[in-house]
Amino acid sequence: MAGSRSGPNMTQIAKVVGVSSATVSNALSGKGRVSPKLVEKIRATAAELGYVPSNAGRALRTGRSNVLGLVLPDISNPLFPQIAQAMEVAASNAGYGVLIADSRGDVTTQTQAIARLIERGVDGLVVIPRRGTRIGSVACPVAMVDTPSTPGNTVSADHWEGGQQVIRHLKELGHHNFLFVGHDPASNVQNDRIGGMKSVLAPGDKHQTIWIESLLAGTPDQTSLGLLDHVKNGVTAIAAVSDLHALRVLTELQTAGIKVPEQVSVTGFDDLVFSPVVTPALTTVHMNMTRIAEIAIAALIKDIEAPRASPDDPDTSNYKTGSTDQNTVKADTSKVSMQLVVRGSCAPAVPSATPSPNGETL
Amino acid sequence: MAGSRSGPNMTQIAKVVGVSSATVSNALSGKGRVSPKLVEKIRATAAELGYVPSNAGRALRTGRSNVLGLVLPDISNPLFPQIAQAMEVAASNAGYGVLIADSRGDVTTQTQAIARLIERGVDGLVVIPRRGTRIGSVACPVAMVDTPSTPGNTVSADHWEGGQQVIRHLKELGHHNFLFVGHDPASNVQNDRIGGMKSVLAPGDKHQTIWIESLLAGTPDQTSLGLLDHVKNGVTAIAAVSDLHALRVLTELQTAGIKVPEQVSVTGFDDLVFSPVVTPALTTVHMNMTRIAEIAIAALIKDIEAPRASPDDPDTSNYKTGSTDQNTVKADTSKVSMQLVVRGSCAPAVPSATPSPNGETL
DNA sequence: AATGCATGATTAATCGATTAATCATCTTAA
DNA sequence: TTAAGATGATTAATCGATTAATCATGCATT
C-alpha cells in the first residue's frame, strides 16, 4: 500500500532494457562508465516510460534534498511577491525547489521558522531578516539579503546609492529643503537609504527626518503625519523610504489640497505594483530583485555543492569567518545598484521656496 | 561521505536505550505496542540526543513527503503575501511544508509549475488559478481557490456577497449612480464581485462598468481612466474590484480636484496593506484568508490521508465527480463570507446628484 | 497442568537511488 | 604468448524510517 508511486523506477527500466539498475543510474546521471549506445537506449526507454526520479530515494542516499528554504520578514511587506518570485525562478533554474516560511513579527517566530525548515531537510536558506535581526548559527549554509552594511550580508540592493540617486535627482530639480520619511529607525535598509540621501546634501540644504512608527506609536493606522506643517515651513520635497509611505504622503498632501508635484515633490522606493498607476505616478527607485536572487541562490548552491571541507582544512568552506558567528555565504558581488525610475511625482522646486509668514499662499 | 547527517537516527537511539529500532519507531509514533515506561524513556533520550526524523527516510518508506505545493497566479497580485502566509501557517500547523511556484502570465507556465511540484513529490496542491484558467488532471489531490461559482472550486471568499455588502452600504448613504471599475473581464473573481454589486441595484439606479485592461489595451501603465467625465455625468460612487484599482481611482480624482469622499465615494476590495494608510482611508471588503486557507488545507489533507480507495469503491475518494475532469477536493464549506471595512472614502451622496449642464459646479 | 489469549518487543523486508568494489572482456605492448 | 591496462557492466551495501510477521512472556481460565 505505502509508497506505491505511480511511475516506474530504475529497476523497472533496468528490467525492460535488460541491464542492472546501477547501469541505469549511471546512464541517466552520466557518471559511471556506460557505452554510448546503451546510454542512448536507457535514456529513450526512461523517457518512453515517463520515468520521474524519486526525490525521497535520492535524498536519502545523497543526503541532499535539492530544496532551499526562504525565510521572509513580516508579510505586510509589499515587496514580498517580487522577492518570492525572483527566488523561486532562480532556484528553479538551478534545479532546486523553494519552501517558504514567514517570520511574521517577532524574532521568536523567525527562529522557529528556520528550525522548521531545517527539520524538513533543506540544503540551504535564504533569509531576508526582520529589521535589525541577527540569525543564530544554523545547520546549513545561509544566504542573507539585507543591506551591504549589515555584517554577514550576502547580497542586496545598494540602498545607500539608491538614496543618493533620489536626492541628486531632486537637487537637479532645484530642491533644497527635504523631508525624509521612514517607518522604523531599527531597520538597516531604511537607515541605509536615508544615509545615502543625506550623504549628497550640500551644506546649505535643509533636511529633517520623521519616523512613522515613533510618530504614531500606539495609535491606530489612520493618523495624519502632519505634513502640512512641514510644507508650510518650506519643505519642497518629501522623500519616503518606501513607496508605501510615499503613497501615504501623496494622498495626505492631496487631501490637504496641496498639489503634487506642482507644490511639493514626492519620491518613494521599491517600485511597488501600485506606483505606476497612481496619479501622479510615483518617481521611485527600482530594485533588481532578479539579479539579487540569482546571486544569492548561486552563492548558496556553490557552497552546498562544494565538497565539504575536512575539519583541518577550513579554507574550502565558503562561510564567513572572523568576528561574526553566522555561517552566511559570501558572493562575489555583494551589492546590486538600484535604478531611478522617473515618473510624475517630482517637478522643479517652486522659486519662492521661502515660507510665507502666515502660510496663506498655500 | 554522502548522507552524513548531523543528528542521530533511530538506530542510535535504539542502541542507547538498549532496544530495537522498531521499538523506537513505535514509541515515537505511538503506533505499535510499547510499554508506557519504555515510551517515556525513548522519548526522553530522543529529546536528549536532539533527534530529528529524516524526512527522506520517512518519505521513501511511506510514499508521502508531507509537503504541499502552492501555485499562485501572476505575482503582481498584491494579495499574494496574505495568501502565502495564511497557507503556510495552516499547512505548518498540520505538519506540512509549503513549496511555492508561480505561474507568472501564461497558462503554459502554470502547467509547468504544477509539473515541477509534482516531480518534487508534493502530496497535494493548492492552486489559485490564473483568471479564468482551468487546470488539467494531475497526479495528486488539488484544492482550488477561485470563486464559489467556478466549477471545481474547493473554497473561496464569497465575492458575490462581498459585492452586495459594498453596494448596500453605498445605497444606505444615498447613492444611486454607480461606476464599477474592473480590470479583466475574464476574471471569475472580478465578475463575481461585480455580479454581486449589480444584484442589489434597484430599478431606478444607474450603473456602468469599465474594464481597465480593455480601456488601456496596449498603452503604457499610466493613463487616465477618464473618471472626470463620469463624475460630470452624475456618478457619485465608484466601486472598484480591488483596492489597487480603487487607489488608482482615488488618486486620479484627487489630482483632478475632485474631493473624496465629499463629492464622490470610492470603494475597493481585499483590504490591501496600503488601504488603511492612504488619505482618505479606503472603505473596502476584507477577505478572511486565514479561514479560507484552513479550509482548503484541511480538505486537501483529509483527502491525502484518507485510505486510498480500491478501484471498485470510488466512494471513499474525496474527488469531485461528474462533468468536471478535475480531481479537485471538496470542502464542507465552500464559501467564506467577506467583511465590509468602513473607513473614510465614502460619504453620503451629495443632494444635487443631478449633473449640471456644463459641469462647472465640479 | 494445559491451553488460549493479551501484551511487549524483535526480525527482517521494504521504499528507490547511488556508488564503491568487483568481475568479465577485450586491447595493447613487451 | 603473457601480463598489464582499458573498458563496460554487475553486485551488493547503504541511506533512515516503517511495518508485517514473528517470537517470547505472563496471566487467566477450565
| pLDDT for position B320 | 41
For position A107, what pLDDT does the model report?
A: 82
Cα angle at B34 between B31 and B40, to 5 degrees? 100
Chain B residues whose beta carbon lies within 8 Å of the beta carbon of residue A251 = 250-251, 254, 278-280
Topology annotation, domain A67-155+289-335:
Rossmann fold (3.40.50)
Task: Give the distance, in angstroms, between residue A25 CA and nucleotide D10 C1'.
Answer: 13
Quote the percentage of chain B above a pLDDT of 70. 86
Contact between B255 and A279 using a beta-carbon 8 Å cutoff: yes
- Through-space separation of residue B267 CA and nucleotide C7 C1' in angstroms: 68
Chain D bases closer than 7 angstroms to a protein Cβ: 7-12, 14-21
Which positions in chain A touch B126 (Cβ < 8 Å)? none
User: How do residues B64-86 score in pLDDT, each as one tens digit?
Assistant: 999 999 999 876 678 888 899 99
Nucleotide nearest A33 (Cα, C1'): D8
Please check whether residue A91 is in contact with residue A97, taking contact to mean a CB–CB distance below 8 angstroms. yes
Q: Chain centroid to CA B77: how far? A: 11
Q: How far A101 CA sits from the closest chain B CA (Å)? A: 7
CA of B17 to C1' of C10 (A): 14
Q: Which CATH superfamily is domain B67-156+289-336 in?
A: Response regulator (3.40.50.2300)
**The residue type at A200:** V
Dihedrals phi, psi of A181, to nearest 5 degrees: -120, 115
| Domain boundaries along the sequence of chain B | 10-53, 67-156+289-336, 159-287
B29, pLDDT greater than 80: yes
Where do runs of H (alpha helix) occur along chain B? 10-17, 21-29, 36-49, 55-62, 80-93, 107-119, 159-172, 188-199, 212-215, 227-232, 243-255, 289-305
The gap between B35 CA and D4 C1' (Å) is 63
Q: Is the pLDDT of residue B313 over 80?
A: no
For B189-213, the pLDDT digits (tens) are: 999 999 999 999 999 999 999 999 8
Q: Which residues of A touch B88 (CB under 8 A)?
A: 100-102
- Which of A59, A84, A248 shows the shortest C-beta gap to B278? A248
pLDDT, averaged per 10 consecutive residues of chain A (362 residues), comes to 66 96 97 94 96 96 96 81 93 96 82 92 92 74 94 96 98 98 94 98 97 81 85 97 97 96 98 95 97 98 77 42 62 97 96 48 40
pLDDT for A105 equals 66
Residue B117: predicted pLDDT: 95
**Chain B residues within 8 A of A100 when measuring between CB atoms:** 70, 84, 88, 98-100
Contacting residues for A26 by C-beta, under 8 A, at least 6 apart: A32, A33, A34
CA distance A215 to A229: 14
Distance CA B133, CA B105 (A): 11
Q: Indicate the pLDDT class of residue B359, thresholds 50, 70 and 90.
A: very low
CATH number, domain B159-287: 3.40.50.2300
**Å between B136 CA and nearest CA of chain A:** 17
Q: Which nucleotide is nearest to A58 (CA to C1')?
A: C17
Q: What confidence tier does B5 reach under pLDDT thresholds 50, 70, 90?
A: low
Can you tell me the distance from the alpha carbon of B78 to that of B293, in angstroms, rounded to the nearest whole number?
Answer: 17
| Owner of C-alpha cell 480603487 | B246
Q: Map grid coordinates 488545507 to a residue.
A: B297
The answer to whether the Cβ–Cβ distance between A99 and B101 falls below 8 Å is no
- Picking from A54, A116, A254, the nearest residue to B255 by CB comes out as A254
List of chain A residues whose C-beta atoms are within 8 Å of the C-beta of residue B98: 99-100
Say how far A31 CA is from D12 C1', in Å: 19
Note whether B126 and B87 are within 8 A (CB): yes
CB atoms closer than 10 angstroms to residue A30:
9
Confidence grade of residue B355 (pLDDT, cut at 50, 70, 90): very low
- Which grid coordinates are listed for A280? 501622479
Residues at the strand C interface (CB under 7 A)?
A 3-5, 9-11, 21-22, 25-26, 28-29, 31-32, 51, 53-54, 56-58, 60-62; B 1-2, 18-23, 26, 32-36, 38, 60-61, 63
Decide if B67-156+289-336 and B159-287 have a common fold: yes
pLDDT at B318 over 50: no
CA distance to partner chain A, nearest, from residue B8 (Å): 13
Q: Are B335 and B155 in contact (CB under 8 A)?
A: yes
pLDDT of residue A104: 76
Given a contact cutoff of 8 angstroms between Cβ atoms, the answer to whether A274 and A247 are in contact is: yes
**What is the pLDDT confidence band of residue B352, given thresholds at 50, 70 and 90?**
low
- Cβ of B97 within 8 Å of Cβ of A92? The answer is no
Cβ-Cβ contacts under 8 Å, A77 against chain B: 81
What pLDDT does B231 receive? 96
Which of A70, A248, A277 lies closest to B221 in CB terms? A277
Helix, strand, coil: what percent of chain B each, to 5?
35, 15, 50
Residue B2 scores a pLDDT above 60: no
Comparing CB atoms, the residue among B61, B70, B251 nearest residue A279 is B251
Q: Residue A180: CB partners within 8 Å, gap ≥ 6?
A: A194, A197, A198, A207, A208, A209, A210, A238, A239, A240, A241
Q: Tell me which of B88, B224, B227, B264 to substitute to probe the interface with A (most A C-beta atoms closer than 10 Å).
A: B88
What is the Cα–Cα distance from B329 to B307, expressed in whole angstroms?
A: 15
Contact residues, chain A, for B5 at CB < 8 Å: 63
CA distance A87 to A109: 21
Partners of residue A4 in chain B, C-beta under 8 Å = 63
For residue A51, give the nucleotide whose C1' atom is nearest its CA.
C16
CB contact under 8 A, B247 and A247: yes
For residue B133, CA distances in Å to B102, B146, B188 come to 14, 10, 9
Is the pLDDT reported for residue B9 higher than 60?
A: yes
What kind and span of H or E run contains A238?
strand A237-240
Q: Which nucleotide is nearest to B26 (CA to C1')?
A: D18
Output the pLDDT for position B338.
Answer: 98
**Residue B196 falls in which region: left (phi positive, over 0), alpha (psi -120 to 50) or beta:** alpha
Of B74 and B38, which is predicted with more confidence? B38
CB contact under 8 Å between B281 and A222, yes or no, is: yes
Q: Which cell goes with A66?
A: 535539492
CA distance A271 to chain B (A): 12
pLDDT at B221: 61
Q: B326: pLDDT confidence band, cut at 50, 70 and 90?
A: low
* Subunit contact B3:A120, Cβ cutoff 8 A: no
Q: Which residue of A has its CA nearest to B113?
A: A92
Instruction: Name the nearest CA neighbour of B116 among B125, A296, B191.
Output: B125
Shortest Cα–Cα distance, B328 to chain A (Å): 18
CB distance B56–A52 less than 8 Å? Answer: no
Q: What is the pLDDT of residue B132?
A: 60
Instruction: Using a 7 Å cut-off to protein CB atoms, list the covered nucleotides of chain C.
Output: 7-12, 14-21
Instruction: Name which of B100, B121, B139 is nearest A55 (Cβ-Cβ).
Output: B121
